[in-house]
């Protein structure tokens, strides 16, 4: 970046500007996913929405692209950033709940936890996913698959409005009436259409919820996976579930009973009473040994974000995913061969989430994703370093590839942007062809020069 461009950037922005070599450079460029070694030309922590517009204009003038980022949970998908300004939105973290209208308005840097906690005492739930520290903006722009998705659909389907600064510096509000095509694209089409500054979305009444995790030793993996595959797809829409093959790291932060163990767990949330929940879980438990740990209990809405026990502090992770059309016995055998307790797999978690319910029903006015057209979503993740710092990336990447390859016979033709967190991803592989063509048309209209950087980019033809 030229000295003139740099000076202009410092002049233009009220938030902080950090450059390579500055004090605080490493902290400024560090994302949640520590496996992503981000080396942008500069980092701006914007002070507010106007500051976002100022930073976009200054980046454009300096010949830099702009990579918007909140938490950096999705940083693994970004490619090299040497010609980009990393525009962090973490200071735009306002959260306001309208209890009467059942809506929330948040700044683009807000994470899910405060929304879940503020809504919960009013019996309202937000459509967050498994982690309370994931950012609302990135999660929602990619669709957003959570514990209430089989009941209420993807989080992007509950969005009322999105405010953003486009590549040409305009501040726009996209909703059903204003900028409808952009509003369509922003709901599941990812972060490539501008820098979001605020979002408004619906909260959902949740008078009762029951759920938690059931853990078995890894030796029971085949029995649990088979029982899960028969049980989960038949459940009513009120129930969302996951099953995971876990290699729990031997870390002091992990509960002692789980530390260093190979486990298989079923996680679930029933949007109903404890009695209804127990009845729905009974068929799963009927044919299985007693779980090692049973954490099922009535849950206030805010507790949904803790059910999965996701890591809340930054850590390195390499992930891969596929959507599956079915999970027959042959697929379970193929999965256990590469990721089961006897496979020697280094992956810490291989997870399947049963889809269906509202995720399979396209509603009028739906956004770009609208539905997840598959029976299960698989997400596998490994830690690419040993505790002593040895590089395991090649081993982890090889096993991630092996897992996805083993399940290819049952793979759906599309994917899920939020789980596609490898660099070099191709958006054409994630969306149906007509949706992808329409997303490209929106990208061409709002960002013809490709200023805004996102993972799995909508690459404009040269």
Cβ atoms of 324 and 234 within 8 Å: the answer is no
Closest approach, Cβ 286 to ligand FAD, in A, equals 28
Closest approach, Cβ 359 to ligand FAD, in A, equals 11
Q: Which of 49, 72, 341, 384 binds ligand FAD (CB under 6 A)?
A: 72
Nearer to ligand FAD among residue 68 and residue 220 (C-beta): 68
Q: Which of 15, 144, 153, 291 binds ligand FAD (CB under 6 A)?
A: 144
Q: Which of 131, 240, 322, 371 binds ligand FAD (CB under 6 A)?
A: 131
Distance CA 353, CA 377 (A): 5
Positions in 285-324 near ligand FAD (CB under 6 A): 310-311
Cβ atoms of 44 and 81 within 8 Å: the answer is no
Residues that contact ligand FAD, how many (by CB under 6 A): 36
Per CB under 6 A, 69 contacts ligand FAD = yes
Per CB under 6 A, 130 contacts ligand FAD = yes
Q: Which of 41, 95, 195, 235 binds ligand FAD (CB under 6 A)?
A: 195
Nearer to ligand FAD among residue 137 and residue 327 (C-beta): 137
Per CB under 6 A, 418 contacts ligand FAD = yes
Task: Determine phi and psi for 17, rounding to 5 degrees.
Answer: -115, 125
- Interface stretch with ligand FAD, choices 41-49, 93-101, 128-136, 367-375 (CB under 6 A): 128-136
Tokens of residue 92, six digits: 């735009």
Per CB under 6 A, 106 contacts ligand FAD = no
Closest approach, Cβ 311 to ligand FAD, in A, equals 6
Q: Which of 40, 49, 114, 138 binds ligand FAD (CB under 6 A)?
A: 138
Per CB under 6 A, 425 contacts ligand FAD = no
Closest approach, Cβ 145 to ligand FAD, in A, equals 4
Nearer to ligand FAD among residue 308 and residue 399 (C-beta): 308
Per CB under 6 A, 142 contacts ligand FAD = yes
Per CB under 6 A, 188 contacts ligand FAD = no
CA-to-CA separations, 196 to 49, 62, 84, 456, in angstroms, rounded: 9, 21, 17, 18
Q: Which of 5, 40, 146, 316 binds ligand FAD (CB under 6 A)?
A: 146
Q: Which of 40, 49, 74, 356 binds ligand FAD (CB under 6 A)?
A: 74
- Interface stretch with ligand FAD, choices 73-81, 287-295, 331-339, 367-375 (CB under 6 A): 73-81
Closest approach, Cβ 195 to ligand FAD, in A, equals 5
Q: Which residues bind ligand FAD (CB under 6 A)?
A: 31, 68-75, 78, 89, 108, 129-131, 134-135, 137-139, 141-146, 190-191, 195-196, 310-311, 418, 421, 454-455
């Amino acid at each position: 970046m030229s000295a003139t461009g740099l000076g202009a950037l410092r002049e233009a922005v009220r938030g902080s500007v950090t450059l390579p070599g500055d004090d605080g450079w490493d902290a400024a460029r560090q994302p949640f996913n520590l496996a992503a070694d981000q080396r942008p030309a500069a980092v701006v922590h914007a002070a507010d929405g106007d500051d976002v517009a100022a930073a976009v204009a200054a980046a454009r003038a300096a010949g830099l692209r702009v990579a918007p980022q909140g938490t950096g949970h999705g940083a693994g998908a970004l490619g090299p950033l040497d010609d980009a300004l990393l525009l962090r939105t973490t200071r735009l973290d306002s959260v306001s709940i309208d209890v009467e209208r059942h809506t929330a308005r948040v700044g683009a840097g807000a994470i899910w936890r405060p929304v879940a906690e503020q809504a919960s005492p009013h019996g309202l739930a937000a459509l967050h996913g498994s982690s309370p520290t994931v950012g609302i903006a990135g999660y929602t722009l990619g669709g957003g698959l959570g514990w209430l998705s089989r009941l209420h659909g993807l989080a992007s389907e509950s969005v009322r409005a999105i405010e953003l600064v486009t590549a040409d510096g305009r501040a726009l509000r996209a909703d059903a009436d204003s900028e409808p095509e952009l509003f369509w694209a922003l709901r599941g089409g990812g972060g490539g259409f501008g820098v979001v500054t605020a979002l408004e979305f619906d909260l959902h009444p949740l008078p009762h919820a029951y759920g938690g995790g059931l853990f078995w030793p890894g030796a029971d993996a085949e029995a649990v996976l088979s029982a899960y595959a028969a049980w989960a797809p038949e459940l009513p829409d009120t129930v969302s579930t996951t099953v995971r093959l876990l290699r729990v790291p031997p870390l002091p932060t992990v509960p002692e009973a789980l530390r260093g163990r190979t486990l298989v767990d079923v996680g679930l949330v029933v949007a109903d009473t404890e009695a209804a929940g127990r009845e729905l879980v009974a068929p799963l438990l009927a044919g299985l040994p007693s779980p090692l740990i049973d954490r099922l209990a009535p849950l206030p809405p805010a507790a949904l974000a803790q059910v999965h026990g996701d890591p809340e502090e930054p850590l390195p992770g390499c992930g891969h995913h596929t959507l599956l059309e079915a999970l027959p016995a042959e697929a379970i055998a193929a999965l256990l061969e590469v990721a089961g307790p006897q496979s020697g797999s280094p992956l810490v978690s291989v997870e399947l989430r049963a889809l269906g319910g509202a995720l399979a029903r396209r509603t009028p006015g739906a956004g770009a994703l609208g539905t997840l057209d598959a029976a299960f979503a698989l997400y596998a993740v490994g830690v690419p370093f040993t505790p002593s710092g040895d590089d395991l990336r090649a081993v982890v990447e090889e096993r991630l590839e092996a897992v996805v390859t083993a399940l290819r016979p049952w793979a759906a033709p599309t994917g899920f942007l939020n789980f596609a967190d490898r660099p070099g991803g191709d958006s054409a592989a994630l969306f149906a062809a007509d949706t992808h063509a329409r997303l490209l048309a929106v990208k061409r209209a709002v960002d013809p020069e490709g200023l805004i950087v996102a993972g799995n980019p909508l690459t404009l033809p040269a």
